[in-house]
Structure 1
């Protein structure tokens, strides 16, 4: 048998830490490759982590509620059996235990290079890290106990491909190698024309795993668990009679950092417009009664999103980003429409990929899925990346409008206020009409006052006369 360790992976883009929300397994439970063992909250979302190997849970290194750095071991699993051909504990381990029992003091320790183990996407392996384990019984010690000293395990050498040449492999094989932490340049290809196959990658991964005895790992694992115990206690909210202190972490932490960075990087300009959306509200009701749209969620936000997409088509330069390093404006020929969502974990902004290419029905389905996923806390980091423009609906809280801060990397954000029945001059007479206020914040490096004003005016024009959804499309 051997103990394998699973480290906290980077499940997003450059994340540094995550909080363990819930363990789904306990020591002694059997786990299989791909089984979800815990749920963690990163700086972007709650994510379920599958374990990449089979075995029996040996120890959980951190308690629920603990924030763990990426790369730290969070669970150890006892794997392998003689029948499956996996690394097993041989007679060497009992010999070492007998030698240790006869010695008057604990054996000295020596550094041993850490074997490279299979990893998830973004999991990473630190080439500089080392692990210490008890020294094996020496020949002299073994002789006193009447046994032979066990030989030290040796990692099999893997012939490398010629340097300077990019290994030949199909994309799925490259992804597999990345997932397992295997350098394709070190894999011996067996495919036609020197192509690396999946079997080659699995063989290289198996060869890179050094067998370890269970007693040699169990002690450090337990010690690490004890050392990390105070961390969980320190992260607990502190409450007194006069104040409460809440640790800033997870989604709330990254939101704060992003908003500060955006506010002090992009020069914000905010413009406002108040408009009559009575016709849009009537259209919403008509679409709800349309049998062709039965089962779809139809609401004002759907038509507002469609109005934004129509306005972008008429003013494509607003859909851009600022490349500080290259000092370039990057025009986007696609729209990943972000929808700000308030969740129990804080504000997140998932986006609908390629929203510009969706029909009204498809856009409705995407919005419904986005909201449901956010409400359940299951939004993935990928769903919140590469947004181009955002809508935030503050009207659901009864707020008239606001001055929203740009989502980092985006050019504009539209705040939608509450839709209220108000007195309004309509066809020369004061009548009760459905009225709302829109606020558009934009990056003045990318969008000047003229462009921003035209964009906002076009959104308002569509919502005042929704037939323009057809005539302007």
Structure 2
């Protein structure tokens, strides 16, 4: 019999740690190649981990709720000697002097394996190591937990060469530092393998979410239940990790990198609310989720078509404005695991029915905690609905790499001058925050005014399309 070890893989394109949420196996259980053995949570999403070989569980090295660095052994399995196994190759360690490792012979079948995860591997640039908790079912050696060599790397995309310093200009390095992004884990797209500002933003976008909330997803569960706090307690400390940690880093970076400007407009959306009801009653749209957010999203897309320069990003390294000829529309959502901003890819090319379907799928996936990192990457502009809490408006912070974010306030029945008379009308306030490097006051004002014009007179969804 041989003891084989399975290490915490990089489940999120360069993330350095993950928390073990739940074990699906116990010592003595038989496992097969590809069987899910545990669920872990990273700063991006919750992911189920399949084990890449057969055997009998020997020991679980960490308890549920433990945060484990990528590359550390989390489970050991007894396998039969000489059995066909997926080889575990060691990645080059981050230390300057590589330690010798015993490599097992590689089999052709293993090379053809399609990993379920983003990649089995560890970011070699990370030197951060936290103290390990006591192992479950495995004794410590010399009073400490055994050090784990780096895990095998099977990246889905090209990465920086192991041991080499990533190529990037000083402004890009500063941006990565501000956003808490490991440059060694960023996939370069610049000439000669140079990491660009866009590459850093793309890496950050999947892990961050603005401090905004969508009406479509239930509010996140509190980190500490009131019943868990003793009556005598005067304060409670909550570890900053996961989504909240990355969100905080990204928001600080965004606030102090892009010069924010916020403009507001209050408008009568009575006609839009009537149209929502008419569309709900339309048999051709039966089975689709029709709500105000759908028409607001469509209004934003129409306004972008009329003002295409707002759909852009700022490339600090190249000193260029990058105009996007597509719209990946982000919808901010609060989930039980924290705030995320998945986006609808190529939303500009979708019909109203297709947009409704995409919104419904986005909401369902976020509610189930199954939003993938790819769903949160490469957004171009974001909508957030703060009105669900009865809030009139706010000043949202830009999602890094994007040019604008629209906050939608509560829709309330208010006195409004309509056709020369004061009448009760459905009224809301929109707030648009934008990057003043990309969007000047005139362009930002015209964009916001166009959104409002569509919502005041929704027939413009047709006449302006």
Q: CA deviation at 1:438?
A: 0.1
Give CA-to-partner distance per residue, 1:53-101, whole Å, 9 cap, x none: 2222222111111111122221222234556589999xx999xxx9999
In 1, are the aligned partners of 2:206 and 2:376 still within 8 Å (CA)? no
Give CA-to-partner distance per residue, 1:26-66, whole Å, 9 cap, x none: 12222222222211111122122222222222221111111
The structure carrying a bigger helix percent of its residues is 1
Counterparts in 2 of 1:455 and 1:296: CA distance versus 1, 3 Å: same
In 1, are the aligned partners of 2:8 and 2:68 still within 8 Å (CA)? yes
Counterparts of 1:60 and 1:453, CA distance in 2: 58
Give CA-to-partner distance per residue, 1:290-336, whole Å, 9 cap, x none: 11111111100000001001111111111111112222111111111
Q: CA deviation at 1:383?
A: 1.0
> Bigger CA drift: 332-341 or 202-211?
202-211
What corresponds to 2:97 in structure 1?
Answer: 101
Counterparts of 2:353 and 2:214, CA distance in 1: 55
In 2, are the aligned partners of 1:158 and 1:187 still within 8 Å (CA)? no
Counterparts of 2:388 and 2:214, CA distance in 1: 50
SS of the aligned residue for 1:123 comes to coil
Counterparts in 2 of 1:279 and 1:161: CA distance versus 1, 3 Å: closer
Matched, 1:121 2:122: no
Counterparts of 1:279 and 1:222, CA distance in 2: 22
Counterparts in 2 of 1:423 and 1:154: CA distance versus 1, 3 Å: closer
SS of the aligned residue for 2:161 comes to coil
Give CA-to-partner distance per residue, 1:229-274, whole Å, 9 cap, x none: 9999999999961011111111111111111111111100000000
TM-score of the pair, normalised by structure 2: 0.71
SS of the aligned residue for 2:430 comes to strand
In 2, are the aligned partners of 1:110 and 1:135 still within 8 Å (CA)? no
Q: CA deviation at 1:224?
A: 43
Counterparts of 1:63 and 1:336, CA distance in 2: 39
Counterparts in 2 of 1:34 and 1:202: CA distance versus 1, 3 Å: farther
In 2, are the aligned partners of 1:111 and 1:131 still within 8 Å (CA)? no
> Bigger CA drift: 394-403 or 251-260?
251-260
Counterparts of 2:52 and 2:259, CA distance in 1: 45
Q: CA deviation at 1:197?
A: 33
Counterparts in 2 of 1:17 and 1:237: CA distance versus 1, 3 Å: farther
In 1, are the aligned partners of 2:205 and 2:378 still within 8 Å (CA)? no
Counterparts in 2 of 1:131 and 1:76: CA distance versus 1, 3 Å: farther
Counterparts of 1:2 and 1:211, CA distance in 2: 48
In 1, are the aligned partners of 2:46 and 2:370 still within 8 Å (CA)? yes
In 2, are the aligned partners of 1:65 and 1:232 still within 8 Å (CA)? no
In 1, are the aligned partners of 2:10 and 2:123 still within 8 Å (CA)? no
Q: CA deviation at 1:122?
A: 3.2
Q: CA deviation at 1:429?
A: 0.8
Could you tell me which runs of 5 or more consecutive residues in structure 2 were left unpaired when the two chains were aligned: none
4+ residue runs over 4 A deviation: 81-89, 98-120, 125-212, 221-240
Alignment root-mean-square deviation, CA: 13.5
In 1, are the aligned partners of 2:179 and 2:249 still within 8 Å (CA)? no
Counterparts in 2 of 1:227 and 1:146: CA distance versus 1, 3 Å: farther
> Bigger CA drift: 249-258 or 265-274?
249-258
What corresponds to 1:374 in structure 2?
Answer: 366
> Bigger CA drift: 168-177 or 127-136?
168-177
In 2, are the aligned partners of 1:341 and 1:348 still within 8 Å (CA)? yes
Counterparts in 2 of 1:287 and 1:172: CA distance versus 1, 3 Å: farther
Counterparts of 2:187 and 2:2, CA distance in 1: 26
Counterparts in 2 of 1:10 and 1:144: CA distance versus 1, 3 Å: closer
Q: CA deviation at 1:227?
A: 37
> Bigger CA drift: 443-452 or 50-59?
50-59
Counterparts of 1:435 and 1:255, CA distance in 2: 32
Q: CA deviation at 1:149?
A: 28
> If you compute each CA radius of gyration, which structure gives the higher value, 1 or 2?
1
Could you tell me which runs of 5 or more consecutive residues in structure 1 were left unpaired when the two chains were aligned: 213-220
SS of the aligned residue for 1:134 comes to coil
> Bigger CA drift: 273-282 or 44-53?
44-53
TM-score of the pair, normalised by structure 1: 0.70
Counterparts in 2 of 1:4 and 1:308: CA distance versus 1, 3 Å: same
SS of the aligned residue for 1:151 comes to coil
Q: CA deviation at 1:342?
A: 1.1
Counterparts of 1:425 and 1:60, CA distance in 2: 68
In 1, are the aligned partners of 2:124 and 2:162 still within 8 Å (CA)? no
> Bigger CA drift: 187-196 or 410-419?
187-196
